[in-house]
A and B are shown apart, each in its own frame.
Chain A
């Protein structure tokens, strides 16, 4: 296999015979005069609006109203057992009737059997209505937010950035990232967008500020 490595690199170098030997990658200019953000109005309001555009359910609550909001959401959903990351802040579900099932290494079948999952996030992007999970604080491993059919996600206002270019520097590429923009969807059948194929079919977002 190392033979192919040398062969491919050799072919690449031969193919690039027209590139001057002294040229360095950075000598190829990249114009960066695109905008850092596109000014869509107040950041948190824009985020809420754009998430809702994907037919996700969105709430804005004061920070001290979080436990109440989560309890209401879970009750509305009829969720009785919800998976949570092991480090979910203890007070988040203090008011909820639902039983929290903390993830250590829950088997997938177990995750398939719970009524939903509650997590935080790492970053949120207003312009695109995107939530990014990085498996860090209050998020757990990736499978936790994948197998349950209902994802209730908490976003703090200070986690919301304007646009994609502000999100990347806040994220560590060495961590596994999941960017979520609305519930799972497909447009494969006559281009009708249908929510929900394999990922959570319902996404509910609570923004605290």
Chain B
């Protein structure tokens, strides 16, 4: 009863344009001050240093090569992510088995593993004697470009699957059924109808994978080897060279190089994203070409089983097993004294459990805040509420995840720690996490809203719904799976984030503790590292699976 009164009151409030504008304006202000400015300000302020290095052809050409590498890897990996992620999302969203909820949750796990740990895990699995290489002479895949690509594939795969599953669940099946009754085998129906209609989400998934591939630093460093550099690694290498004693490069060179690479990456990404959006709306996976016999063959029995088998094989062999490999020693550790020691919280586990609690609380708060300030933004972006500027806004939203995390960390530190030092540390942590998670939420949500026809909204308005009522009765029901997907990405990303955390605070989150363990900051055994990762993974798995079962409820449709 009270709830009803509240919604009516909110509905009514929302019909006042001042209230509506107030919400949009607050969302915009929050976006600029909390999300966009902190990561960008540092880069902008140091941009002057860039001119200092422009004359140094050696640094410039090294930077350009690195950036080219970044773009090539990001492009290839994001495309492959889509190619492998679509059948996987398909299987999860359309399959009938209850176990798919479990599979769906497993798909989130690589996102839970702190990226630095993920890098270490892949390194162990692919390159070190402890992993696959035990069966071969030397490393199966030595550190270098291929391993970097594998790493990026692994950590972006969950995002792609998450965004696409959300889109497929929100999508109205009738279009596809209509296509089937018109004579299209399943694959043709998907290609000509479904993919067209969920295109905004496909673009969003691609954008997120691409951006993350450009910016991730910590894990990439671990698997890049000595010879290979992409943009992010280049900046980190410059930083390392500067902090070496004696410094190998000057501060001006480091800052200039970092600014140069960051700005170039941001600029190029913006151009690429704008181009993708522009082409995306024009380009059609046209049905002018059809391959009735081939597509029919691919649609049924053997081909489907083969497709699902390949999808799952890729998923487990390339994504899951390498990502969780680091936790493998945990299984052994279950039977040693490490396990009871861990559970009783003896050092170093006291720190660990405290950090776990901190990580999850921060994750929850960040998710809630992102939803609050991200939803209006998603509406603004998807519905072009600000006219022309909406398109610019649309691109600005992605910036926090394009900036290489070293540069991002430095910038966040500059903004939050050096400028606003009196803010409580825990809030610094929350704000920093919001900056890097916000784009995921807005991107996946805006894509979902974009797909709802404006007409539906108008229809509901003419039937007397107030703006918030439209959201409640039309937008929310039609996008709830995308909203949930966005929230999951935010939560998992926050729980696993390392670089930004280290940059702004001394508070230890779970990833910080684990990375410290992995790097030998304090003496722990591999079994304990495994256990540490294992607990994080298992707890997250249980949380996510529970949430998922609640959200999906009884009937899947």
Q: Do A and B actually bind?
A: no
Residues of B within 8 A of A (CB): none
